[in-house]
Amino acid sequence: MSEKIFFHFLFLTDRDYQCRKIFYGDPGSEQIYSLLFHNWVREKRHITTVLPISSEDAEGSFVWDGDSFIFKKLPAPKNGFYYLFLKEDYQTELYQQSLNQFAQGVQIYDQNGCAVFFNRTSRQISQIPSSLNIQGRHLLDLFAIDEDISTTMTALRTQAPVINRVDHFRTSAGASVLSTNTAYPLKKGKQVIGAVVFEQTKEIVAAVKEKMIESEQALNDFKKNVPETRFSGYTFDNVIGHGKALQKAVTIAKKIAPQNNSVLLVGETGTGKEIFAQSIHRSSKRNQKKFVALNCAAIPDSLIESMLFGTQKGSFTGSENRPGFFEEAQGGTLFLDELNSMSLSMQSKILRALQENSFRRVGGQKDISMDVRIISSCNKDPFQCIADNQLRKDLFYRLSTVMIELPSLSMHMEDLEELIQYHLSATAYQYVHSATVLDAPVMELFQSYSWPGNVRELFHVLDYAQNLADGDTISLEHLPSYLLKENKNAKKAPGESFSPEASFDWNNSSLQSLMDDYESRLIRQALKYFGYNITQTAQALGLRRQSLQYRIHKYGIQI
């Protein structure tokens, strides 16, 4: 290993491919992976069982834990092997995709006038097909133009910018182009290493001008459209809808709000449990005190105890005197969201505190009395959670003095249109194009869709559409792709079942795209099954939370 090779981390294995040593090429990789990799070495794990590689391959690439890696296998002493791993660098791809978003043409040349990159708009201006590789071709081979009046060549020759020069020229394919061009020489120190050119046609100028006028108008209207007061918490006014099922829940919540009973909210993810919890608090006699919320599904169990009960300085290395949520909520309300996601051992500690009306900080010796109203929630049937050993029966009865069931959106679809108009109107001021109208096919799709993510999913879909809409109307093309696929599948014949042969286009897809499509479907089904709970879905699929979140982002899945 005399040559110098950069790597993020390197494994030394024995002849049986068991991990024996780990070396790190940069501090960042060591910080991220040291604990995991140390265990692999300690347990002498077979490298092909912990990483998706084959012992037969001398080099290759793979995706692991949300990152793309390339690896190389080299011989090591005693018939062992070195495995070098390097994260793939996407910087060039990021730059190219970013430049492709520009409304004007962008061309980059090296110091000799040879093309390095043309963005999508520039190719369209010059009618250069995306399949044609322009890299390395000289400007004068691509365009029929005099070198002396070329904006790019002038900038390279004079080493000075050329601003807004009008050029009329022909491409090598014979297309006539009239454009304004601005070129800047690119330098490293005093040496010119290339040039960048920005080009605009008459059509581009007109489109940009129209967008600038619209943006100016939206900025002028913003102050008069923005809500006068900042959001300070939910009240019952934020519960939108007049359906019978929803209003029954509101009526019960308003009746018990002034009392001091514990409340258990039962409803699927996205049905508005947080809105109800805050509304009950703000309608109670405790409304002058704090409302504190803990998402039990989002916090590792090892941290929940210290977050709830606080810590005493000296109880463990680095600990400080820090109050927990029970102390912060003293005299007010503590909301334990998705209680059924908390471990049974932690549930028992909460039960003990509630029974004794006191608790101790982690590492503390002093009992602290508490006066806190508990509102909790379950995203599943609590009785089923008890049967599945996910919820302690004694804690359930302690916290469910009043139980309020929040209907899923599919149970009060009569409120769908009101919810849509409420959200579009409330957020319209944030966009240049205030999309507040739905095309009839969009409304038809919304009414036929099951909305497994409930109101939260509906609002996310509307936000997505508003970001894409370029007018006041939302059409099918502005909706997330998964929603259109769901709609397409819903229109299949009743007897048609899911199968790879029926679902994939084998003639126009690569193996990787087929695998991605299949993985996307499986993740969507798993998320739906677990009520879009990231932690539970990740555990069921055998993934880390970060890996699942990476895939959710990759496939554009709305949560």
pLDDT value for 494: 41
Q: For residue 521, name the pLDDT band (cuts at 50, 70, 90).
A: confident
pLDDT value for 2: 38
Per-residue pLDDT tens digits for 293-335: 999 888 887 788 889 999 887 665 556 788 999 999 999 999 9
Residue 199 has pLDDT above 80, yes or no: yes
pLDDT value for 6: 62
Is the torsion defined by CA of 383, 389, 390, 396 positive or negative?
A: positive
Is the torsion defined by CA of 533, 535, 539, 543 positive or negative?
A: positive
Per-residue pLDDT tens digits for 455-476: 999 999 999 898 888 888 999 9
Domain spanning 9-89: CATH 3.30.450: yes
Using a pLDDT cut of 90, give the percent of the chain over it.
Answer: 48
Mean pLDDT of the region 509-517: 65
pLDDT value for 355: 93
Angle, alpha carbons 88-93-95 (nearest 5°): 125
Residues contacting residue 308 through CB under 8 Å, at least 6 positions apart: 294, 324, 325, 326, 350
Alpha-carbon distance of 559 to 535, in angstroms, equals 13
Helix (H) or strand (E) holding 373: strand 373-378
The arrangement of strands across the sheet holding 81-87 comes to 19-24, 9-13, 81-87, 67-75, 59-64
Reduce the secondary structure of 328-364 to three states and give it as a string.
Answer: HCCCCEEEEECHHHCCHHHHHHHHHHHHHCEECCECC
Q: For residue 232, name the pLDDT band (cuts at 50, 70, 90).
A: low
Same fold across 9-89 and 236-407: no
Mean pLDDT of the region 96-113: 92
Q: What amino acid is encoded at 454 in this protein?
A: N
Mean pLDDT of the region 87-99: 80
Q: Which of 70-74, 230-234, 469-473 has the highest mean predicted lDDT (pLDDT)?
A: 70-74
pLDDT value for 283: 96
Beta bridge partners of 107: 118, 197
pLDDT value for 15: 92
Residue whose pair of structure tokens reads 């099922």 in the numeric block: 245
**What architecture (CATH level 2) is domain 236-407?**
3-Layer(aba) Sandwich (3.40)
**What architecture (CATH level 2) is domain 93-205?**
2-Layer Sandwich (3.30)
Domain 414-554 sits in CATH at 1.10.8.60
Residues contacting residue 414 through CB under 8 Å, at least 6 positions apart: 241, 242, 243
Per-residue pLDDT tens digits for 421-452: 999 988 888 877 778 899 999 999 999 888 98
Q: For residue 163, name the pLDDT band (cuts at 50, 70, 90).
A: very high
Domain ranges of the chain: 9-89, 93-205, 236-407, 414-554
Residue 405 has pLDDT above 90, yes or no: yes
Residue whose pair of structure tokens reads 């409330």 in the numeric block: 426
Task: Tell me the whole-structure pTM to 2 decimals.
Answer: 0.58
Residue 264 has pLDDT above 50, yes or no: yes
Residue 493 has pLDDT above 50, yes or no: no
Q: Write the DSSP assignment of 146-200 as a string of letters.
A: -TTT-HHHHHHHHTS-EEEEEEEEEETT--EEEEEEEEEEEEETTEEEEEEEEEE
